[in-house]
Structures are given as structure tokens and as C-alpha cells.
Chains A and B, each alone.
Chain A
């Protein structure tokens, strides 16, 4: 082989190696985080850890059941609020691409996505916590719902926009009323994108701490009333990790492991739904 061709082959090989190394660097932080949290957290994970309430300092054991239940309830209520509004808004934006209201809403959604979560927490504090004179789980749900909205709206809008116009025309030409065109044709065809947007938004907010600091506030006891303060996983991690006790640090690692795996699981479910529900156009 001639020298200059050898040089080209070598250059191409080098480029390939650089890309592989860079790709590894992208995955490395995640792998390290998983490894570290696993190593620190796995030793406290047990049945009792998942089913018992925290014990006072000095006593051995104790669990995080209050935070698990709390996170579940807060996220559930946030989803109940955000999913219908988000999907409806997404449908509106994809159906009315160029109206003034759509332009304005799209701008608001973009800005909302950029609002720091702590700011949303403060605003909800003044909207709900102050008038009710008590921290409450529902105020935490409202704060998280506000954070979910832009993700659901964007994913719904983008999914529906990608559907070919011929699909909608086919339905309209069959004399199908507009509301049924949306519910029976457009939504079923875009279901995988919309579902994955919803799951991703849940994964995104499950670990949010800042909006819950002065809304759900935290609670060392098991509480299922949405009108009272409630514990949640990120709040528990925050409180225990900043405490001076080693036992509590261990509990925080354990809770972090649970939270991390929940989020990972949600992301994997997203991938699977996209594959399973995908409608071949």
C-alpha cells in the first residue's frame, strides 16, 4: 500500500477510537453513580427497610415506608392533575399550529420548562400553603404537576405533529366527527409517543426535591392525607444526608438506591412502551 493511503487508513482508525472513547465517557458517569449508590445503599435494603417507619436516632433499623407511600401519592395526584391538561394542551397546539393563542401558549410552555424548580416551589407556597395555613401533600403535587406539564405538552404536540395529514383527512372524508377523529384516530396512532412523554415526566419529577421543601415539607410518620405534610423520597434523602448521624446516612443511601432504580425502571418502561405501542405508519 502506498504511504498516503496508509496514513488515511490510520486517520480513520484513530477517529473511530476517539468516538468509542467519547461514547464511553458519556456512559461512565451514570455507571459510576449506579455502582457507588449500589455499594453504599445495598446493605440497608431489606424487607424491614421497605415496610417500617423510621426509628429515632440511636435505635437500630427503621425503614422508609412513609417516604415510599408519600412519593407514590404525591406523584399520583400530580399525574392526575397534569396528564389530562397536558394532553389536551398538546392536542390544541398540534391542531392549531399558527393561531395567536397557540403561539402564546407555546412560548409559555417553553418558558415554564426553564423555570427553576425552587421558584415553582415558592410560588405554590404562596398559592396554597399560606392560604391553608399548613404544609400539605397536595401543594407538593401541584408544584410537581406544574413541572410535568411542559414535558407532557411538548411530547404530545410533537408526536401528533409527526402523524401524516393524510391520516386525518382519511378520517374526515369518512364523515367522522372532529372529536372522534382526535380520540379514535390521532390519539391511538400517537399513543406510544404520548405515553413515553408521560412516563418520562414522572421519572423527571419523582426525584425533585426543591419544589417539595416548602410544600409537602416532610413527615416522620406515615400519612395518607393529602391535606397534611407528607414525607417523600427526595425529602428524606435530603434530611437524612444532611443530618449528623451515621445510621441516617446509611438510610439516605438506601433511599437513594430505591429512587435511582425507580427512575431507571421508568426509563426502561418508556423504551418498552415506545416499542410495544408503536404504530407503524
Chain B
């Protein structure tokens, strides 16, 4: 299989007249953790939301250029197909409040109207919750509402829900920014496990987090992709002066 899974060529995104992602060229490799960092408003979340085509749902939002998934432009596919291949975890945990923990995990199947046998469902729920390091904590309360869980557990439930669909890529938009340090570290541990099966792209404000969890780091500034390299190199010897300034805290 080809090593590159996602490739952007001259990719631009706009909100109305506001040019928020400028001419991004990037190649993302399979089974790696990629951290996307940069100051607020630098376009990193917008770029992430362009990958699974959530950006276009906002009124006045548009984009151009190429976004290739396994060599195929996601903008020439049906968005539903794109989103089956590319899962997403949001900044704030957002389990479906009307569904139980069990149904939340298989929501991607159930809400799509896919019929499955009871044992298939059980298997998917157990496997996904185990991968999301939540199985032990919730296995006796699977039929309680997902919103009964703590924030960190809810976020792991959302991760389980996303990986239950077996996507190739998992996008994480500041997944720990609403969580306490203990939940954060358990989710960071989880990310290291997950990269065996998925490609993870994680947007983060937290530089330590980027350094801890990622193999490669992309630095966005003012809508441009300034630098993209191995995390070690980015944090020790970046090529661009702006990356260096950001990492050393000279501007934010």
C-alpha cells in the first residue's frame, strides 16, 4: 500500500471573503500521529474540517485546490463516502444524549440504518470500547445514557464511536482542551495505541502535547503551512524562524 494517505495540493479555504487556509501543500503518511499546531485563528481547525468536508456546511464557506485520500480527490466523492473513511473527534465531547453508551458506540451503523445481528453489535461495541480504553469502566453500565459519564470518559466514548466505523483516518480537533490533566494523559496514551490501526491528525494548542504524542508536526501561521517535519526536528531545530519563535514562546 502507498505510504501517503492524505495529500493536499494548493489547498485554500475561505469564509466569505476571509481567506483562512492559504495554499497548503502537505503529504501525510499512514499510521502516524500528526500534530497540527499554531496560534488561535491560524486556520488549523478549518484545515482539519476541510479533510472530512465539514467546512462546507457553514454558510459562506468554500474551498479549492486538491485534497487527496489514497490518491482520490475527496471533493469529487460523495461526502458521506469521505466521512466513512475519515472519522472525527471534536473539541467538546458530544455523545448523542438520547442514546445509551452501547448505542452511541454503534451510532454510525444504527443511525445509518445498517442492520446487524445482536452478536455483531456486541462484538463491535466491545472491540471499540476496548480500543478506546473505556471497556473496563463502562462494561456494567452499557445501557445507561452516554451523558452520565465524566468528560474524559465521554471523549473516549466519542473516540470509540468514531473508530467503530473503522475509518482510515481519525481527525481530532483539540480533543483534550475541555478535559482535566488525568483524562488528558489517558487520551494521549490511547492515541499512541491507536496509530497502529489508524492515521491520526490532531489539532492542538498545547505544544507539550504535540511533542509527546506526535511523530510529525505541522505548524500553521496566519493560514499558511509554515513548516512540516518530524516532531523531534520541529522542536529542536526548526528551519523556519517563525516556527522557532512560536516554540520558544516569542509570540502566540
Binding site for B on A (CB under 8 A): 98, 164, 166-167, 169-177, 180-181, 184-185, 188-189, 279-281
Contacts and interface: CB of A to CB of B under 8 A. Distances in A.
Interface in B31-90: 52, 54, 57, 59, 80-84, 87-88, 90
B225 interface: no
Contacts of B241: none
A171 B98 contact: no
Contacts of B57: 169, 172
Contact of B92 (A166, A173, A189): A166
Q: Which 6 A-B pairs have the closest CB atoms?
A: A175-B83, A173-B88, A174-B108, A166-B94, A175-B84, A188-B98
A176 B94 contact: no
Contact of B147 (A170, A172, A174, A281): A281
Given A180-B111, A279-B97, A281-B97, 18 more contacts: A166-B94, A169-B54, A172-B54, A173-B54, A173-B83, A173-B87, A174-B112, A174-B162, A174-B165, A175-B82, A175-B84, A175-B165, A176-B80, A176-B107, A176-B111, A180-B113, A184-B111, A185-B96
A171 B57 CA distance: 13
B145 interface: yes
A275 to B, nearest CB: 16
A186 to B, nearest CB: 10
Given A166-B90, A170-B90, A175-B108, A189 B97 contact: yes
Nearest to B164: A174
A174 B111 contact: yes
Contacts, number: 73
Given A180-B111, A184-B111, A280-B145, A170 B83 contact: no
B80 A175 contact: yes
B94 A164 contact: yes
A171 B90 contact: no
Contacts of A171: 96, 107, 111
Scoring B80, B145, B158 by chain A CB atoms within 10 A of each residue's CB, the highest score goes to: B80
Scoring A175, A181, A185 by chain B CB atoms within 10 A of each residue's CB, the highest score goes to: A175
A166 B88 CA distance: 12
Contacts of A175: 80-84, 108, 112, 165
Scoring B52, B94, B107 by chain A CB atoms within 10 A of each residue's CB, the highest score goes to: B94
B7 interface: no
Contacts of B83: 172-175
Contacts of A188: 98
Nearest to B92: A166
B147 A280 contact: yes
A43 to B, nearest CB: 48
Contacts of A189: 96-98
A279 to B, nearest CB: 5
B154 to A, nearest CB: 11
A170 B158 contact: yes
Nearest to A177: B80
Contacts of B98: 185, 188-189, 279
B141 to A, nearest CB: 16
Contacts of B84: 175
Contacts of A174: 83, 87, 107-108, 111-112, 161-162, 165
16 contacts: A98-B59, A164-B94, A166-B90, A167-B96, A170-B94, A173-B90, A174-B108, A174-B161, A175-B82, A175-B108, A176-B80, A181-B111, A185-B111, A189-B96, A279-B97, A280-B145
Contacts of A184: 111
A281 to B, nearest CB: 5
A54 to B, nearest CB: 48
Contact of B52 (A167, A173, A177): A173
Scoring A166, A174, A180, A279 by chain B CB atoms within 10 A of each residue's CB, the highest score goes to: A174
A180 B54 contact: no
Nearest to A175: B83
A41 B102 CA distance: 54
Nearest to B57: A172
Contacts of A169: 54, 57, 90, 94
A171 B54 CA distance: 11
A281 B113 CA distance: 24
A180 B145 CA distance: 20
